Structure 1
Amino acid sequence: MAILITGGARSGKSRFAEQYAARLGSRGIYIATCQPYDEEMKERIRQHMRDRDASGFRWETKEEPLETAALLRKLAMQFTEERREAQAGGRPWTAPPVLLDCLTLWLTNWLLQLEEGKQAGSDPLGEQTGAFIEAVRSYPYPLLLVTNEVGDGIVPEYPLGRRFRDEAGRLNQQLAGICEKVFLVTAGIPVELKSIAFRWDEL
């Protein structure tokens, strides 16, 4: 069960995602994609961790700025084994929700890698996004994905910025297509989009 949560900067989307996850289990896995390039970003990360600790919900943080698809596959295998062991022992078991925050930072990390020429291949970014989308599609347990709406503002001045905007928009569309629910958070107010989406068969 994958859920996509999108919104603008400081819209409240991460807080909503954390609150949603806390209602799905007694503990959670937090996949952080941010890479701290400077002291200001390091302090943001520390504040986010303090906020999560203060919530009372038990998070296990896994920092993975690039190989998120592989991490999702690893977690799926781990939880499947835990479920089998619990069933064999007659014990109750609930998969901990996984929260990935955020997709646009993950995309930024890959774009910077490719810009520096560290990755080879005919379409390495397409390969990475394709692998990630397939990992989300096949993940059998609760999964919350936080992303950003980046196309509502001005057109970026530089080619890399314009590519980022386009790639983020395409990634969001593809994930929205396979996620069970899609929330848009604005000014701290979440709205579930799929339940109110226009459908061609209603025309």
Structure 2
Amino acid sequence: MAIFITGGARSGKSGFAEAYAAKLAKQGIYVATSQAWDEEMKERTARHRQDRKQSGYPWRTIEEPLALAELLARLEGEHAGEPERPVVLVDCLTLWLTNWLLRVDHGPDDERDADPHRYDELHAEAEKLTAAVAAYTGPLLLVTNEVGSGIVPAYPLGRRFRDEAGRLNRKLAAICGEAYLVVAGIPLDLKKHAFAFDED
């Protein structure tokens, strides 16, 4: 079953995801989607890896910045049928989205603006990821960021990121069995409190 976990920066969503993972399985696979572009990011990545090591929970870390759908399909094949499957924790979807957005949004502004299909690859990858999550039968936690609650970004790529993140979060939350919003370290069960229209 897939579990969707969202929240703002430093809300405690990753800590909640890791604690939840420890209750779902005796061991876990931590899928890190970040790319270390600078020294601060390298230090942050190393610190997170050390924190997981010191937690005492047996994590196996896989770094995968782009081919997330393919990785989930491979892990499904490797562990299908096992009586005690490891929990898979993806942290995080918005970094994965950033990696793809930067990959497809390249070149001079006038060339990008003239190409109406430049985001087709990004949308295709989002569909592939959604299908891979839906097909995954083991315990799976997806961590993402809630980025649409602040001011409208002042630049086009920032606005594109905000919109694409919102669309991706909606798609994945809809197919996950559970969805949580973490605010100030407190996880809120979104599906439990979701409004439902009356059916005639």
Report the TM-score, using the length of structure 2 for normalisation. 0.92
1:146 aligns with: 143
1:71 aligns with 2:71: yes
1:116 Cα deviation (Å)?
2.4
Does structure 1 conserve the Cα–Cα contact (< 8 Å) formed by 2:104 and 2:118?
A: no
Partner Cα separation in structure 1 for residue 169 and residue 80 of structure 2: 28
Partner Cα separation in structure 2 for residue 185 and residue 121 of structure 1: 34
2:49 aligns with: 49
2:112 aligns with: none
Partner amino acid, structure 1, of 2:8:
G
Secondary structure of the 1:61 match is: strand
1:63 Cα deviation (Å)?
0.2
1:194 aligns with: 191
1:25 aligns with: 25
Deviation beyond 2 Å, 4+ runs, structure 1: none
1:201 Cα deviation (Å)?
1.2
1:96 aligns with 2:86: yes
Partner amino acid, structure 1, of 2:44:
R
Does structure 1 conserve the Cα–Cα contact (< 8 Å) formed by 2:105 and 2:118?
A: no
Secondary structure of the 1:35 match is: coil
Partner amino acid, structure 2, of 1:61:
T
1:86 aligns with: none
In structure 1, list runs of 5 or more residues that go unmatched: 84-92
Partner amino acid, structure 2, of 1:97:
V
Partner Cα separation in structure 2 for residue 20 and residue 180 of structure 1: 14
Does structure 1 conserve the Cα–Cα contact (< 8 Å) formed by 2:7 and 2:146?
A: yes
2:14 aligns with: 14
Does structure 1 conserve the Cα–Cα contact (< 8 Å) formed by 2:88 and 2:139?
A: yes
2:128 aligns with: 131
1:179 aligns with: 176
Partner amino acid, structure 2, of 1:69:
A
Partner Cα separation in structure 2 for residue 61 and residue 132 of structure 1: 19
Partner Cα separation in structure 2 for residue 41 and residue 122 of structure 1: 27
Partner amino acid, structure 1, of 2:121:
P
Partner Cα separation in structure 1 for residue 21 and residue 160 of structure 2: 32
Partner Cα separation in structure 2 for residue 115 and residue 121 of structure 1: 7
1:169 aligns with: 166
Partner Cα separation in structure 1 for residue 119 and residue 41 of structure 2: 33
Does structure 1 conserve the Cα–Cα contact (< 8 Å) formed by 2:92 and 2:144?
A: yes
Structure 1 pair 122/13, CA: closer, same or farther in 2 (3 Å)?
Answer: closer
Partner amino acid, structure 1, of 2:102:
L
Partner Cα separation in structure 1 for residue 142 and residue 74 of structure 2: 17
Cα RMSD for the two superposed structures = 1.5
Secondary structure of the 1:164 match is: helix
1:108 aligns with 2:114: no
Secondary structure of the 2:36 match is: coil
Partner Cα separation in structure 1 for residue 70 and residue 189 of structure 2: 29
1:202 Cα deviation (Å)?
7.6
1:54 Cα deviation (Å)?
1.1
Report the TM-score, using the length of structure 1 for normalisation. 0.91
Partner Cα separation in structure 2 for residue 163 and residue 4 of structure 1: 22
Partner Cα separation in structure 2 for residue 63 and residue 201 of structure 1: 44
Partner Cα separation in structure 2 for residue 65 and residue 100 of structure 1: 11
